[in-house]
A and B are shown apart, each in its own frame.
Chain A
């Protein structure tokens, strides 16, 4: 009380000093320690202005002086509820005497419907235009019942004017960010133990909405995001544009399963950072279209080739679908994928990531834990990691690992974009087991490349990485693939030669898309057009046999 009185004191002193001159010294009692001034109080009678109070909460930090412009109007959204709009009267659909009957019925049951009073409706206050804040002011009841509030303002002549307060409205700010609806909130609550990255929730929702707007994807995409999104999630929106552009760039390379850039884009968005796997994405789109939400049935028809380490198509599918069922997948996988995501982020840091990937190969759960720790330490949420890396680990184990999509990727726009551009063929690394590390290595390479290192450094790095994983994969993982398969790719990835292509085709039937993925532009140093041309020539020379697997034309050689 003391403090307050001091402040009021201060104000009153100001008031007194400014107005005492005006005021006659009516009844100025003078004692040495006190001085008083008298003011006339008037209650104007003929004003047609109704005064109301606009109350803001302390925590909202509202300062009226910062408002440049404001608009306020009544919120009439309740009118239709209360208004009881009549269905058309007369002619079709109406009954004779319906109104009277309804009224009689209401009276009989004692139903009293409240009138819609405009006076009692809430206010909608918009400050500073479209980009500013919005407030909703709800009338507070019971204000004028027992006591009246008056507003005392000091008028020009020093007298006080008192105006009665007509109503009191409590204004609360309205959230401009999106919130979950009740159903969605319940869903997320059920998943709270599984989802580590909570920022992705809103992002997925946004993507889902975009999907529905586009009308072609199904919810899988949304679910897919679940695990993938990481902290960068929020930034994902911004990066989406980058991704889209990147995807379009890289889409040239792929044959485009769907041929829809939209799909790819949408998927890319989801994957935040869609690591340039334009092709992958498109493929995903097509693959995913038919999939349902549940985990189980998705992988039944997929080919799983344990022997080859380049079966990109098959592996891509399981990996892709995996993300979709974020929720349903057992916890272990979720953790795995999440940890993979984390590891992906860290891959940017390169060396450390390598270790992680190796760990992943080796063990499942402990890896996740470690990865998470590492993630914390690195603290870099730059996504756009290779989902492949993640996928690899999981796929090795379950063959259902989805490829953790680039997810948050969005984040660092630059990263995302560079990522997409730089790794059109990353999916190729999606091989089970051994490919995990390979992919990790590859993604890391790409990241490294993107970030700082010169493209040239990739090669040695790639080679290095590839060497390392191979022993690992053979040792730890239950991955079906032999380590030997691993070592070979290192060279072939670099050069687009007939030998390389032959090697691939002998090992396993591949589609042109797969082949293109194998020979990434970054690795081979050729542009996408060149790659396509050279590959076409090679294929002509080799003249491989064709087989239709999964409605796709695969090439293979037998020797």
Chain B
């Protein structure tokens, strides 16, 4: 990993100039649908009486937009897109790439165990900024209209139901859950007091795992009646009233031996 972080500066050395172009969302969506080598259209650069004009023409097959809903083939993306050129201004915009070799999702590698080292390379410097605008046409207007309609729908909306919903809660003599609970209780029966030594063993092994325990949790673990358990705990443990671990039981210091994770009796 010694190479990690090393930036490949070949692009900067060559002073490769690139263009930064702002492209509308629908167009970029169409571009992702390109087939083959990825040819999406043609860029025409012309010099018209001293002014440069750049225009992009979308390939025919990419103009069909798949939309959700009824109007599918009616709307087509416009083909002509003149570019509006702007200067970079004083800003220096450099382009760098991350080659996350083989890693599909960067987030996955974000846990820190990143498999392949990211190769960072400086590709070049932006020399020209441009905005790709669609040439205004009927089809474009329709497209826009559709988009606006989509977006203006609220995420949540109210819908009137024909029939009242009656399937959720039915009045019942006793709920299923309750029945199960009572059955379980009956089976377990009252907790019997086991041998003190056995209970102590159980407690010590529990305290080996964690230092602080709630009384309820201990009851659960040892399956002893609360009063009996409390008596035993009073012998070997202390009850934390204040502090961070409130209302928890912990072993007395003489019984504790956490460094080596042993319990001495």
Which A residues have a C-beta under 8 Å from some C-beta of B? 4-9, 11-13, 15-16, 26-27, 29, 33-45, 48-60, 62-65, 67-73, 90-98, 116-119, 125, 146-153, 160, 162, 164-166
Contacts and interface: CB of A to CB of B under 8 A. Distances in A.
Interface stretch (B2-10, B170-178, B229-237): B2-10
B47 A65 contact: no
B95 A51 contact: yes
A88 to B, nearest CB: 10
B20 to A, nearest CB: 6
B7 A71 contact: yes
B56 A116 contact: no
B25 A146 contact: yes
B96 interface: yes
Contacts of B200: none
A62 B93 CA distance: 10
12 contacts: A4-B87, A39-B45, A42-B39, A43-B40, A50-B97, A50-B98, A54-B122, A55-B93, A65-B12, A95-B248, A96-B213, A160-B43
Contact of A150 (B21, B39, B46, B48): B21
B213 A27 contact: no
A76 B232 CA distance: 49
A147 B47 contact: no
Contact of A11 (B16, B110, B120, B128): B128
A41 B42 contact: yes
Contact of A45 (B38, B41, B95): B38
A45 to B, nearest CB: 5
A309 B23 CA distance: 85
Interface in B236-256: 245, 248, 256
A116 B245 CA distance: 28
B154 interface: no
Nearest to A89: B210
A149 B91 contact: no
Interface stretch (B70-78, B99-107, B191-199): B99-107
A38 B31 CA distance: 19
A41 B44 CA distance: 10
Given A51-B96, A96-B213, 11 more contacts: A11-B17, A29-B46, A33-B49, A34-B53, A35-B46, A39-B43, A40-B41, A45-B38, A70-B9, A94-B210, A150-B23
Contacts of B45: 12, 15-16, 36-39
B258 A92 contact: yes
Contacts of B124: 153
A67 B13 CA distance: 8
How many interface residues does chain B have, given as a range?
Answer: 35 or more
A179 to B, nearest CB: 25
B13 A91 contact: no
A59 B89 CA distance: 11
B18 to A, nearest CB: 5
Given A48-B100, A95-B210, A118-B106, A152 B18 contact: yes
A33 B51 CA distance: 10
A149 B20 contact: yes
Interface of B: 4-7, 9, 12-13, 15-25, 28, 31-32, 34, 37-54, 56, 85-87, 89-102, 106-107, 109-110, 112, 120-128, 206, 208-214, 217, 245, 248, 256, 258-259, 261
A91 B208 CA distance: 6
A91 B110 contact: no
Contacts of B217: 96-97
Contacts of A29: 46
B92 A41 contact: no
B23 to A, nearest CB: 5
A55 B91 contact: yes
B261 A148 contact: no
A508 B12 CA distance: 76
- For the residues of B in contact with A, the DSSP-based class is strand
Contacts of A59: 90
A8 B85 contact: yes
Contact of A38 (B6, B44, B112): B44
A204 B192 CA distance: 75
B97 A52 contact: yes
B212 A94 contact: yes
Contacts of B96: 51-52, 54, 72
A78 to B, nearest CB: 12
A43 B38 contact: yes
Contacts of B4: 73
Contacts of B93: 53-56
Which 10 A-B residue pairings sit nearest by Cβ, starting from the closest? A58-B90, A36-B46, A118-B110, A92-B258, A64-B12, A70-B7, A73-B5, A148-B28, A152-B19, A95-B212
A244 to B, nearest CB: 39
B1 to A, nearest CB: 10
Nearest to A160: B43
A49 B31 contact: no
Contacts of A119: 106-107, 110
B158 to A, nearest CB: 24
A53 B124 CA distance: 10
Contacts of A35: 46-47
B212 to A, nearest CB: 4
B123 A51 contact: yes
Nearest to B59: A41
A58 B89 CA distance: 8
A41 B19 contact: no
Nearest to B248: A95
A60 B94 CA distance: 14
A44 B109 CA distance: 24
A64 B125 contact: yes
Contacts of A70: 6-7, 9, 122
A150 B211 contact: no
Contacts of A65: 12-13, 15
Nearest to A54: B94
B261 A91 contact: yes
Contacts of B102: 48
B94 A64 contact: yes
Contacts of B22: 147-150
A137 B233 CA distance: 57
A122 B92 CA distance: 18
Contacts of A27: 42, 44
Nearest to B101: A48
A12 B41 CA distance: 19
B259 to A, nearest CB: 8
